[in-house]
Amino acid sequence: MEDTIELAKREFKDNPNLDKAIDLITNTGVKKRHIIQPIELASLHPGFGYRNAIFEYQSKRLVPGVIEEALGHADITAKNISAIIYVSCSGFLMPSLTAWLINKMGFPLDTVQIPISQMGCAAGGAAINRALDFIVAHPDSNVLIVSCEFCSLSYQPTDGDIGSLLSDGLFGDAITAAVVTAHSGNGLELQRNSSYLIPETDEWIRYAVKDTGFHFRLDKRVPGTMKPLAPVMTEFAHAHGWEIDKLDYYIIHAGGPRILDDLCKYLGVQREQFSFSRDTLVNCGNIASSVVFEAYRRMHESSLFKTGGKAIIAGFGPGIVAEMCLSQWR
């Protein structure tokens, strides 16, 4: 955070929004982020083509190792994978990185490729939901999910509005991977999924795509969206016979502190129920579609899960859309 504020003071010293933006960055609670380049390079703008080349190079360099770790946790190999769901909102490749992975890592040539590139932070939840849908349609299958988010490549040194300055201090970079399998084992059993779009909010979180790349646009009304989403989540759990305020685990997208605070308030759950999402925000920043996987990893490594424990996974993103999944620890 200190490096971010120092950079903001240097690059935007004459900007009238600077003081307010620094207050907002401080109030996010983000203490540390990981970014794909040193912060001094992230503040330069050599052009969209160069930045996208960095995205391609670094994703090909780093994604395979993360996949190998996920496959190892699931005790399977690349040859056992039936589909790859690849999500990212911070770079563009065609063909998708999935084609390169199939060629380089030994996935079957008939592996189904499902790239998701335009759902932003909600894509982590969407990937989990589409994996469940695939397995229901294709019994005995295994789905690999990969999230590759290099949000720092969208830093725009010429954008001095408050929303842009805040995003410069909020988003971090991450790669995560997970296996969803039809076979029994230790993990969260995905049981029911749902999507919900808040009407007339499609302009609230978006990219303005220009010659210089992706310019993040964030409406000040976004933090208030948890109030209309909470009843939707409540009804979603109720339709499954569960009570939303009595679940054991909440794996929630950490878009910012107010998102988490408001959701606790409107769902009627205690702050500590979201502690792992908050921990992810503090130590990684908002890592877009990777948040739900990183929060889950932190919960898993703390030996928190108990047999029969009920959980909700929820990601929120542009649309504004919520992608939700109910699951139970087995």
- Sketch out the chain's domains with CATH numbers: 2-181 (3.40.47.10), 188-329 (3.40.47.10)
More confident residue, 159 or 142: 142
Residues labelled catalytic: 121
Average pLDDT over residues 22-35: 87
Rounded to an integer, what distance in angstroms lies between the CA atom of residue 122 and that of residue 39?
26
Closest CA to 84 of 93, 95, 97, 75: 97
Token duo for residue 100: 């390169």
E-strand stretches of the chain? 83-87, 112-116, 142-150, 173-181, 188-197, 205-210, 213-218, 249-252, 310-317, 321-329
3-state SS class at 39: helix
**pLDDT band per the 50, 70, 90 thresholds, residue 20:** confident
Give pLDDT, residue 17.
82
Supply the Cα-derived Rg of the chain in whole angstroms: 19
Beta bridge partners of 312: 250, 326
Give pLDDT, residue 18.
82
For the cut 80, the answer to whether the pLDDT of residue 200 exceeds it is yes
For the cut 80, the answer to whether the pLDDT of residue 63 exceeds it is yes
Rounded to an integer, what distance in angstroms lies between the CA atom of residue 54 and that of residue 97?
14
Q: What are the contacts of 254-260 at 24+ separation with CB within 8 A? A: 254/278, 254/280, 254/281, 254/286, 254/291, 254/295, 255/121, 255/222, 255/286, 255/291, 255/316, 256/28, 256/170, 256/223, 256/281, 256/286, 257/27, 257/28, 257/29, 257/281, 258/223, 259/223, 259/226, 259/316
Rounded to an integer, what distance in angstroms lies between the CA atom of residue 107 and that of residue 78?
5
Rounded to an integer, what distance in angstroms lies between the CA atom of residue 88 and that of residue 290?
9
Average pLDDT over residues 212-232: 86
Q: What does the mean pLDDT of the chain come to? A: 91
* pTM score, whole prediction: 0.92
Indicate the DSSP class of residue 253. Answer: -
Query: Residues, the chain, total?
Result: 330
More confident residue, 127 or 2: 127
Closest CA to 188 of 176, 196, 180: 180
**pLDDT band per the 50, 70, 90 thresholds, residue 73:** very high
Average pLDDT over residues 133-147: 96
**pLDDT band per the 50, 70, 90 thresholds, residue 232:** very high
For the cut 90, the answer to whether the pLDDT of residue 80 exceeds it is yes
Give pLDDT, residue 39.
82
Give pLDDT, residue 115.
96
Average pLDDT over residues 246-273: 92
More confident residue, 111 or 207: 111
Burial of 269 (0-12, 13-18, 19+ CB in 10 A): middle
**pLDDT band per the 50, 70, 90 thresholds, residue 205:** confident
